[in-house]
Structure 1
Amino acid sequence: MKPRNSLIRLRRFQVDEKRRQLNQIELMIAEFRRMAQELDEQIVAEQNRVGITDVGHFAYPTFARAAMQRRDNLIASADDLRAQLEAAQDALGEAVEELKKIELMEERDQERGRAALDAMEQDALDDIAGRRAAR
């Protein structure tokens, strides 16, 4: 029984670790999206301040151009993290399934153990009752 308990603890740890990883990726995606939104706001503010919205204009603000590039990089990074997020979700699902299998095996073993113990107790009680009846 003890090796299975260790295995269950290990699987639970793995599930918890995969949940943490999943949560961390989700937080990073949200942070990248938030930062990209802030850059969008800064770009619009800079365009309004200068009065030039045409990116191809010779006097288009350098800050706005650089902010656009940073925003695009953040969006691309967030999109790349989506693939990692899907992989982490799949890994978590597999880890949860493995944990459930092991927990079910442990539960069945415990049930068998209880049934065997109940049968032994019943045999002992039957034996005692048989002795009393023979007196």
Structure 2
Amino acid sequence: MKTRDSLIRLKRFQVDEKRRQLAQIESMIAEFNRMADELDQQIRFEQERVGITDITHFAYPTFAKAAADRRDNLRNSAHELHDQLHRAQEDLSEAIEELKKFEQLEERDQQRERTAQDMAEQDILDEIAARSR
């Protein structure tokens, strides 16, 4: 039983760790998207300030070009993180399933123990009742 208790604690720890990893990836994706959105706003502001929106124009602002590159890199990183997010979700699902299996085994063992104990108590009560007759 102690071994199974240790395994259940280990599996719970693994599930918690997978949840933390998942939350961290989601947080990073949200942060990258937020930063990319801010860069979009800065690019639009710079384009409006200089009055040039054509990125092929020779006088297109250097700041807007650099900001667009950073924005694109952030969007690409967020996209790559989505792949990691899906893998992390799958890992979490697998860890939860493993935990459930161990918890069900533990519950089944506890039920067997209760049933055996109830039967032993009933045998004692039957024996006492038989003696008192």
TM-score (norm 1): 0.98
Shift of 1:29: 0.2
1:34-53 correspondence to structure 2 within 5 Å: 34-53=34-53
| Amino-acid identity (%) | 68
**Distance in 2 of aligned mates of 1:47 and 1:5:** 63
1:65-80 correspondence to structure 2 within 5 Å: 65-80=65-80
**Distance in 1 of aligned mates of 2:60 and 2:20:** 43
Equivalent position amino acid for 1:51 in 2: G
Runs (5+) with no aligned partner, structure 2: none
Shift of 1:114: 0.2
**Distance in 2 of aligned mates of 1:55 and 1:123:** 89
RMSD: 0.4
Equivalent position amino acid for 2:19 in 1: R
Runs (5+) with no aligned partner, structure 1: none
Task: Encode CA deviations 1:8-33: one digit per residue, 9 max, x unaligned.
Answer: 00000000000000000000000000
- Partner SS state of residue 56, structure 1: coil
Shift of 1:36: 0.3
- Partner SS state of residue 60, structure 1: coil
1:104-115 correspondence to structure 2 within 5 Å: 104-115=104-115
Equivalent position amino acid for 2:58 in 1: F
